[in-house]
Structure 1
């Protein structure tokens, strides 16, 4: 019962904090994160009252299944944007922008951090610099999706943003695998072609394949039922099943095989939405069901933010360098690639700002990077610092960018201004 009490406190705290955030003009996502931070081990949790907050980061990790399920439903919602009509309109632009902005961001962060390495080798190693550059490509879809939903944003920028965020995950996987392979080679003296090239491609292929199978299964199961409640239950059950299966890992012929949770659930949704004639209505009902789950996800994410990293001057210096160079890479990469694709001035000017949030995917990469000899803990600390900044500031910047682009009506309105794509 203690776990149920804790979850109820998290949910109610996040919702109550969102009322204060509304008065301050802040997105609800920021309120949920702050509520989590207050309930975490560095504030209320430190009081040691059982059920009232989290006394340690390990206690927060005990609810990891909720966070994984929420990420699955977030990816499932984003996959709904990959309908054929939408892809015909802006699929080419989304692919070009998704790839180019990620590559440019990685390159710019690499240049800045490698420059610091050559200036002061004791500050950061070349291996850590390359690893951080690859992680910089990752963008958090959760905060972006929640801001879009809260303010009912709509228009060319919003629709393109959701496509780019989805593509960004696949590109980030490849960039991280290649860069981390090179970084490992610098520390060990041996380059593994399998880990640099084969494993990331296998992970993407397996993820897309599993997503297709689960999308076909969901469509078939939905047609056995006709009541709205049972169809909703089937959708929830299939997404939960997909999240569970996506956690599987195995080795075949010396090649480590696994799945990307986000890619699997996005592909599942994409297939389902394009073959099921009643998918749009069903997706709307699923969106309504998942709201409490998303609130819990962000509150738990806020509770996981580690404030002890703020005590290390080296982490702060490198963290600032990482944040500035990554932000510049995202903005310049999005601006240049959007201009190359002939996008509108609003899209060119504001797309990069909406790509700044960073959280779950980056933390997962940082966890893998901990195995880097001598540098893993440094990489993780810098990413934790950047996530702390991006999660608290990113949603507000995303809201401001969409508002400036004219795709969110001023406060008090209920729907966004429509634009021609």
Structure 2
């Protein structure tokens, strides 16, 4: 970024200085985005994503930068911190007292949605003549849902009742399903194509098992500590320490940060007497990081790859939408005891897709480089579509 600055600026304008200015500018833009959302009823998440895409256009097309990270390596940890916060807060939705009433329903709907969506994408792409690796990889990637977009849309809508609780519960476990299915899919594909399925399976088991161990290792001490500190600054320090430890250790160990954070949040919610203190303190500082998440996610998209594989992208988007709607509809019909209180189009509210899907696409492209030009552009382009339409669909379902 520094090489594109005017020459008349002082020589001491370092990358850290530019990053501070950009972060301040992003937060300032979010204030105008919030005002615009109130006036136009457009979800502020969609506006922030558009701001990020605008930054990507300026950075990549206008300036002509070769890389998509406008913050010089800082975007990834900022996005990671936001996702860890969201996952930790979603872990509070896994409180056993709540799950006694809604747990079976959450499990049924999530299974119907992921099976319906994944099967529709995989079978549809195979019927259209796309390669097996592309079809299976995109089917596994389609399972992932963006928890940040769904939870923020639910909170922004301000709805109460069964449907919002079910949605938050589903996205709390959706990425766990996604990681399991993606790991198994890569294992099967590796075994079918190259015979290295055992290595892929071990990697998937470590990513899942290590995340569980890390979540327990951080969650149990956090649950013991919560309630022994007075509310206020000490609790806020405790909450931020949990988030930083989860984000850093998961990256160091190569395990799923989302799954580890959800497990830690669930342990705190179920074992700590004053568990709401930590969650409230995180909620107080969460929104600025979510602003960075949505804007930087849009800014990190490689616009030069978006127009590749247009037909495959359209097919993937259409099949994923149909599969999720059909899966949600069948789940509500199947759950006769509760379906009167649930909208039958609940699958539409589970369409947002972001960081986890892109991460899976990068892993799939790394394992099967000959298909990277097919998988990566599709996931990048569909992420833009689902992140812009997803919040609108969530609000429509909750209406």
The reply to whether TM is greater than 0.5 is: yes
Distance 2:216 2:332 in 1: 30
1:81-160 to 2 correspondences below 5 Å: 81-117=93-129, 124-160=130-166
Report the counterpart of residue 195 of structure 1 in structure 2. Answer: 200
Contact kept? 1:236, 1:286, Cα under 8 Å: yes
Report the counterpart of residue 307 of structure 1 in structure 2. Answer: 303
Distance 2:210 2:106 in 1: 22
Counterpart selection for 2:83 from 71, 95, 108 = 71
Distance 1:138 1:217, change over 3 A: same
Deviation at 1:321, TM superposition (A): 0.4
Deviation at 1:227, TM superposition (A): 4.4
Distance 2:384 2:33 in 1: 18
Counterpart selection for 1:27 from 15, 37, 43 = 43
Distance 1:21 1:203, change over 3 A: same
Contact kept? 1:243, 1:261, Cα under 8 Å: yes
Distance 1:275 1:311 in 2: 49
Contact kept? 2:231, 2:277, Cα under 8 Å: no
Deviation at 1:45, TM superposition (A): 6.4
What CA deviation, in whole Å up to 9, does each residue of 1:140-173 have, x standing for no partner? 1010011111222221011011111122111111
Deviation at 1:308, TM superposition (A): 2.1
Distance 1:4 1:357, change over 3 A: same
Say yes or no: does 1:272 pair with 2:268: yes
Contact kept? 1:109, 1:132, Cα under 8 Å: yes
1:303-342 to 2 correspondences below 5 Å: 303-312=299-308, 315-342=309-336
Report the counterpart of residue 287 of structure 2 in structure 1. Answer: 291
Counterpart selection for 1:245 from 246, 249, 252 = 249
Distance 1:296 1:308 in 2: 23
1:367-378 to 2 correspondences below 5 Å: 367-371=362-366, 372-378=368-374
Bigger shift: residues 335-344 or 285-294: 335-344
Deviation at 1:328, TM superposition (A): 1.0
Contact kept? 1:127, 1:184, Cα under 8 Å: no
Q: Which runs of 5+ in 1 are unaligned?
A: 118-123, 250-257, 404-421
What CA deviation, in whole Å up to 9, does each residue of 1:187-224 have, x standing for no partner? 42x2523524x443443232122212211111233355
Say yes or no: does 1:352 pair with 2:347: yes
2:370 partner SS: coil
Distance 1:305 1:22 in 2: 27
Distance 1:90 1:227, change over 3 A: closer
Distance 2:28 2:60 in 1: 16
Contact kept? 1:137, 1:172, Cα under 8 Å: yes
Contact kept? 1:10, 1:36, Cα under 8 Å: no
Say yes or no: does 1:17 pair with 2:33: yes
What CA deviation, in whole Å up to 9, does each residue of 1:110-169 have, x standing for no partner? 11111122xxxxxx3211111111111111101001111122222101101111112211
Report the counterpart of residue 14 of structure 2 in structure 1. Answer: none
What CA deviation, in whole Å up to 9, does each residue of 1:226-273 have, x standing for no partner? 241111111111111111101123xxxxxxxx4111110011011001
Deviation at 1:320, TM superposition (A): 0.6
Contact kept? 2:235, 2:277, Cα under 8 Å: no
Distance 2:40 2:302 in 1: 25
Deviation at 1:55, TM superposition (A): 7.9
Structure with the largest fraction of helix: 2
Contact kept? 2:153, 2:391, Cα under 8 Å: yes
Counterpart selection for 2:259 from 263, 275, 284 = 263
TM-score when scaled to structure 1?
A: 0.85
Contact kept? 1:128, 1:183, Cα under 8 Å: no
Length, aligned pairs only: 380
